[in-house]
């Protein structure tokens, strides 16, 4: 669904609205080209042609916004994706009628692709060469770049599928350019060409203690696993993780750090979490969230006379900081929400959270109360980042729609 | 509107060629409800992207086997040289199949539970998911 507006020197008030599928839309562009003064030879690149002419068209306004989400395996990427797509409305589902082991999720606005699909070595290949999936040598960054760029330029691609069950590369699946493309996986910010395509990037930084606790939760029930095997796996992957995955966080526009709580002395259960949302300053169309007074340093315990919290309570802090040489704002939450009024109380004291109505964060958290982290900072900050991405997307669309209008007036 | 009509016609005619049944019956009620084998049949002929694929239920068990196999293998590989690339790759495989097994468990659980409940988890605001106090 798109609206296309045509401004020609002859009829500045010509206004055409039509609703078409994307492929048809592109053909319409060719059509319109004859309207303008100079026919352009560069017919296979519609976008550029449209940009240079008087036509301000949906192709540009609809140009795919690309979001990158980096995290290690088992660190909450899928939960984050479900929260993000939920903010945009409608559930994300695997492509209908396709490979049942496809890693792709599609909703009305958003397509989420898993970067494991760009593995150049399958499971056997990695075993033979002695490289992990974390190693860049096991991944085809050229293809990743080409395909993400193509989608961003409005061109559908046939993306490979890495089958996590068999460990093989399956026949490719078609990916049509969505409004928002999320690329999630181990390396969305590793290759500078891919990184430059991202309109916004997020890194989920899970501390070793919490990673261990989460993997125990995930794997202990599985036959063959033990505390030793879970530990051994984390340790064996760590050198590659430190070399290739972790350094990407310096490029992220937002980092969600997940650490053990400081509210309970010597806690190593990993149930209560201290979560930090690190937001880069000066990112276009992204205004960091703040607590009470933007740019000040604040420590806040919401539990008191107005709000009663149960053990171990909730503690927030906020302030400016530096992260890999970048100026950032950091919002931190330690502890967990036990009741609804705690969450709404906290939400009402945060600013710049890009909600559309009072209580939207709380509503989103309640809607997915069964997702992991819905009672702590991981769920809160994932939801807020989801709202910030919606806001960013809406700003991009609005600015694209406004720019040619101004040009036409001038 | 036009595209939808085309899709239905295409969908039904192709099924007619195979089963030689009247078009209306297919539009009005899904044959899969009463004759589940037809879904498998249709799948073999790759008709329509709307058909859900029929998957065997064995998957989660075989993944579980893969997890325990991969752990045994990693322990063996690393016994010789704990800092080799092969050792890291072997434990990386453990991580990968463990994650796949966890996904399969979740999928299986969702499949076995009420589909309406699953749908409503993601779409609680829709009409069919609303609950009323009285």
The pLDDT value recorded for residue A60 is 53
Residue B23 has pLDDT above 50, yes or no: no
Tokens of A183: 């690329």
The pLDDT value recorded for residue A58 is 45
> What is the Cβ-side half-sphere exposure of residue A108, based on CA atoms within 13 angstroms?
7
Rg (CA), chain B: 23
Tokens of A210: 């919490």
Give the count of Cβ contacts less than 8 A between chain A and B. 121
The alpha carbon of residue B121 is apart from the nearest alpha carbon of chain A, in Å, by 7
CB B89 within 8 A of CB A130: yes
Q: Name the DSSP letter for residue A3.
A: B
Residue A10 has pLDDT above 50, yes or no: no
- What residues does each domain of chain A span? 5-62, 64-203, 253-410
Whose structure tokens read 């609703």?
A19
Q: State how far the Cα of A343 lies from the Cα of A384, in Å rounded to an integer.
A: 13
If one compares A91 and A99, the residue with the highest pLDDT of the two is A99
Residue among A151, A90, A86, A140 nearest A115 (CA)? A140
Q: What are phi and psi of A243, to 5 degrees?
A: -80, -35
Q: Between the ranges A150-164, A220-234, B74-88, B92-106, where is the mean pLDDT highest?
A: A150-164
- H helices of A94-191, in order, are 123-129, 141-152
Tell me whether residue A19 is exposed, middle or buried, using C-beta atoms within 10 angstroms of its C-beta: 0 to 12, 13 to 18, 19 or more.
Answer: exposed
Among B46, B64, B88, most A C-beta atoms within 10 A, so best to mutate, is B88
**CATH annotation of A64-203:** 3.40.50.300
A98 chain-B contacts, CB cut-off 8 A: 49
| CB proximity A240 to B under 8 Å | yes
The pLDDT value recorded for residue A318 is 96
pTM of the model: 0.74
Residue A98 has pLDDT above 90, yes or no: no
* CB proximity under 8 Å: A 134-153 to B: 134
Q: Name the DSSP letter for residue A117.
A: G
Lowest pLDDT segment from A9-23, A210-224, A367-381: A9-23
- A12-67 pLDDT, tens per residue? 333 443 443 444 444 434 333 333 334 444 444 444 333 444 343 444 557 899 99
The pLDDT value recorded for residue B134 is 67
- A246-303 pLDDT, tens per residue? 999 999 999 999 999 998 887 777 789 999 999 999 999 999 999 999 989 999 998 8
CB A279 within 8 A of CB A286: yes
Do the chains contact at A236 and B124, CB–CB below 8 Å? no
- B47-62 pLDDT, tens per residue? 344 444 444 444 467 8
Do the chains contact at B64 and A126, CB–CB below 8 Å? no
Percent of chain A with pLDDT over 90: 55
The alpha carbon of residue A182 is apart from the nearest alpha carbon of chain B, in Å, by 19
Nearest to A370 among B55, B97, B121 (CB): B121
Do the chains contact at A224 and B124, CB–CB below 8 Å? no
Average pLDDT (A332-355) is 89
* CB proximity under 8 Å: A 358-397 to B: 367-368, 370
- A309-322 pLDDT, tens per residue? 888 889 999 999 99
> Measuring CA to CA, how many Å separate A339 from each of A71, A276, A303, A344, A367?
30, 21, 12, 9, 14
Contacts of A18 (CB under 8 A, 6+ apart): A2, A3, A4, A28
Please state, rounded to an integer, the average pLDDT across all residues of chain B.
Answer: 64
Measured from the Cβ of residue A191, the count of other Cβ atoms closer than 10 Å reads 17
| CB proximity A176 to B under 8 Å | no
| CB proximity A130 to B under 8 Å | yes
Average pLDDT (A145-166) is 94
Q: State how far the Cα of A245 lies from the Cα of A240, in Å rounded to an integer.
A: 7
């Amino acid at each position: 669904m798109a609206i296309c507006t045509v401004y020609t020197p002859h009829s500045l008030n010509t206004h055409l609205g039509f609703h078409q599928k994307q492929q048809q839309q592109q053909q319409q562009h060719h059509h319109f080209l004859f309207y303008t003064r100079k026919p352009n030879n560069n017919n296979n690149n519609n976008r550029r042609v449209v940009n240079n002419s008087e036509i301000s068209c949906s192709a540009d306004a609809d140009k795919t916004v690309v979001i990158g989400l980096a995290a290690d395996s088992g660190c909450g990427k899928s939960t984050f994706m479900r929260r993000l797509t939920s903010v945009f409305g409608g559930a994300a589902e695997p492509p209908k009628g396709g490979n049942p082991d496809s890693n792709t999720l599609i909703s009305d606005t958003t397509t989420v692709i898993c970067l494991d699909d760009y593995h150049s070595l399958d499971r056997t290949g990695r075993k033979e060469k002695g490289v992990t999936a974390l190693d860049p040598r096991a991944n085809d960054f050229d293809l990743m770049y080409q395909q993400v760029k193509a989608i961003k330029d409005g061109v559908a691609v046939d993306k490979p599928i890495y089958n996590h069950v068999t460990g093989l590369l399956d026949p490719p699946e078609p990916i049509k350019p969505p409004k928002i493309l999320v690329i999630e996986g181990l390396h969305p910010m590793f290759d500078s060409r891919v990184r430059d395509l991202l309109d916004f990037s997020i890194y989920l930084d899970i501390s070793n203690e919490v990673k261990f606790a989460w993997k125990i939760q995930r794997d202990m029930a599985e036959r063959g696993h033990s505390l030793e095997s879970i530990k051994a796996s984390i340790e064996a992957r760590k050198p590659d993780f430190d070399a290739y995955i972790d350094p990407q966080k310096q490029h992220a526009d937002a980092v969600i750090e997940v650490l053990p709580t400081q509210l309970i002395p010597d806690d190593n259960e990993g149930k209560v979490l201290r979560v930090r949302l690190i937001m880069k300053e000066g990112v276009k169309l992204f205004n960091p969230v703040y607590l009470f007074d933007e740019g000040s340093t604040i420590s806040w315990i919401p539990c008191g006379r107005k709000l009663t919290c149960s053990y171990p309570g909730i503690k927030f802090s906020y302030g400016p900081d530096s992260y890999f040489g970048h100026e950032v704002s950091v919002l931190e939450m330690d502890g967990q929400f036990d009741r609804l009024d705690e969450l709404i109380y906290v939400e009402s004291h945060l600013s710049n959270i890009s909600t559309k109505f009072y209580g939207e964060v709380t509503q989103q958290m309640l809607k997915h109360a069964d997702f992991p982290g819905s009672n702590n900072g991981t769920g809160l900050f994932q939801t807020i980042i989801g709202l910030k991405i919606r806001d960013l997307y809406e700003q991009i669309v609005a600015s694209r729609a406004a720019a040619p209008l101004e040009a036409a007036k001038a | 509107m036009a595209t939808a009509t085309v899709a239905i016609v295409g969908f039904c005619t192709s099924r007619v060629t195979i089963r030689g049944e009247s078009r209306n019956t297919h539009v009005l009620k899904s044959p899969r409800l009463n004759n589940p084998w037809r879904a498998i049949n249709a799948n073999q002929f790759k008709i329509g992207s709307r058909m859900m694929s029929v998957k065997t239920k064995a998957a989660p068990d075989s993944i579980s086997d893969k997890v325990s196999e991969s752990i045994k293998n990693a322990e063996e590989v690393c016994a010789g040289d704990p800092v080799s690339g092969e050792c890291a790759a072997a434990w990386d495989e453990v991580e990968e199949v463990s994650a796949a097994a966890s996904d399969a468990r979740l999928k299986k659980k969702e499949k076995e539970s009420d589909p309406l409940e699953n749908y409503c988890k993601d779409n609680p605001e829709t009409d069919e998911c609303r609950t009323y106090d009285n």
